[in-house]
Amino acid sequence: MAVEATAGNKSMDGAAQAASGIARKTLVLGSGGPWILPRFCNFVQKHRDHPGHGHIHEREATAYQRLQAHGVTAKGYVPRFYGSIEKLEPELWQPNLNMFINDTELPSAIFIEYIPDMRQLHLDTFSKDRMARFVQAIKAITAALVMHNDLKARNFMVTPGERVVLLDFDRAKTYDKNTITAEQQEWLREDVQIVQDLGRLLFTAKDDEFSFFLHSRISESPAASMLLEATFQ
């Protein structure tokens, strides 16, 4: 099991953490009782909410709840969701939550599946079969009326067992079937198009990486920017 803990405001040490806005802490909670394997907690704290998009904890928890209810997590396309908790008190969880001790707001957390040995989608992890599964994944996600809204290469993961996983729903938008607008439906279709475009671009890059790089430098496709981030950073 993994835990993502979020807080509205965080003072962080170190230039790298300040630049990324993310602090990470991993620990073994132990095993026993109904737990067969050790449980790992990965605390990911983001120091500010995304302007204009609401609270990151609420967005991510709402998206995972919807995806769980629609069977998307059962298909393995996103991590399994085990629940959430708000306003953790770091003083009661020492030393594990020391990183939150000076926050101006109490952190909240979501509990998600721990998936070992994931690798980012990249030229050396790309295959047509994997990409087809990513397209199936985003279609399942948007069919549940969830817009990922952050389809960057770092959120596309593959596992040794050929599972594909989409991560990071803290910018997600979850719509109601009774109130969704035509514009919002178009945004969902655009999410699918981005992933399809990414597959085509990766397939092209496999054949001619240099000419693809030159072409994508002038491309306006969001998928091209994603691939540049993954391949040429």
- Please indicate, yes or no, whether residues 99 and 62 belong to a single structural domain of this protein: yes
Last residue of a domain, one of 112, 147, 167: 112
Q: Is 67 helix (H, G, I), strand (E, B) or coil?
A: helix
Ordered per-residue pLDDT tens for the chain, 233 residues: 555 544 443 333 332 232 233 333 333 333 332 322 234 444 444 434 444 445 788 899 999 999 999 999 999 999 988 887 777 787 887 777 777 788 787 777 788 888 889 999 888 888 889 999 999 999 999 999 999 999 988 899 999 888 999 999 989 999 999 999 999 999 999 999 999 988 888 877 766 655 555 455 445 555 655 555 554 44
- Please indicate, yes or no, whether residues 129 and 107 belong to a single structural domain of this protein: no
**Measured distance CA(159)–CA(165) in Å, rounded:** 8
What residues form DSSP beta bridges with 30? Answer: 39
- Please indicate, yes or no, whether residues 169 and 224 belong to a single structural domain of this protein: yes
Q: How many domains does the chain have?
A: 2
Structure-token pair, residue 148: 């990922």
Are the beta carbons of 172 and 148 closer than 8 angstroms?
yes
- Non-local CB neighbours of 194 within 8 Å, separated by 6+ positions: 138, 151, 222, 223, 226
What residues form DSSP beta bridges with 2? Answer: 112
For the entire predicted model, the pTM comes to 0.72
